[in-house]
Amino acid sequence: MKNLLCFLFLISCIASVSGQQLYMEIGSTISSFDYKNSRGERLDNLLSQSKSHFGMGYRHTLNKAKTIFLRGGLSYNNYGAIGSESSVDNYFEWDVSYLGIQGGADIKIFQHNDFVFFANGSVASEFLVRGTQTINNDVFNLVGEEEFNNNILFLRAGLSMQYPISTGTAIVARYNYGSSILISSGINAEELKLNAHQFGIGFIINLPTCYCDF
């Protein structure tokens, strides 16, 4: 909890001193699961599902050329997977939602007319806020379960395209691929590693203190 408060305080300080833009994004997440039960056994026949994600936060430039930007904010990601094991006649399904605190960077690659292309990367600490595990007709709530990983570190990288629609607003399309790093909840615990393709569209809006255009 202390780390969360420190991170939020740092983001607030950055935004108040040099924060120039606000970003918002919504899109879809195609996730795949790497699940290991308490006996260390993996399920190899899990199928991915398409879910939604949302993010918002601050973005500011590090140089006058506007080629390097830092981002910090909040994210809400939904992940899902389904599968079965015919040998034991079992059906499995996961539906989980994580609230995340994330920081990252956008680095300009090239520009064509008004289209600007960036390489981007981010790291996020995500916390399970809603989650169910279904085995056949039995549904289990995963929130707060000591034998399940409720806290993950997620690393992402990808590309984005930015196009101005006014002097103070730009529309952004983004693709990211990411993978989680588990924060272990104990010995012999269930583990769920997440891999995700994310497609999103959103806006970057200049704050009143930002006298700049795109």
Q: Which amino acid is at 185?
A: S
Q: What residue ranges define each of the domains in the chain, with the CATH number in brackets?
A: 2-206 (2.40.160.20)
Q: Tell me the sheet residues that pair with 18.
A: none
Q: Please write the tens of the pLDDT for every residue from 9-35.
A: 444 444 444 448 899 999 999 998 887
Classify 214 as helix, strand or coil.
coil
Total Cβ atoms within 10 A of residue 114: 11
DSSP state of 186: S
Q: Please write the tens of the pLDDT for every residue from 143-202.
A: 887 656 678 899 999 999 999 998 889 999 999 999 988 654 555 566 778 899 999 999
Going 119 to 4 to 193 to 137, the CA torsion angle's sign is negative
pTM: 0.82
Residue 110: HSE in the Cβ half-sphere, 13 Å Cα cutoff: 1
Please answer whether residues 71 and 45 qualify as being in contact, where contact means their C-beta atoms are separated by less than 8 angstroms: no
**CB-based burial label for 6 (10 Å; 0-12, 13-18, 19+):** exposed
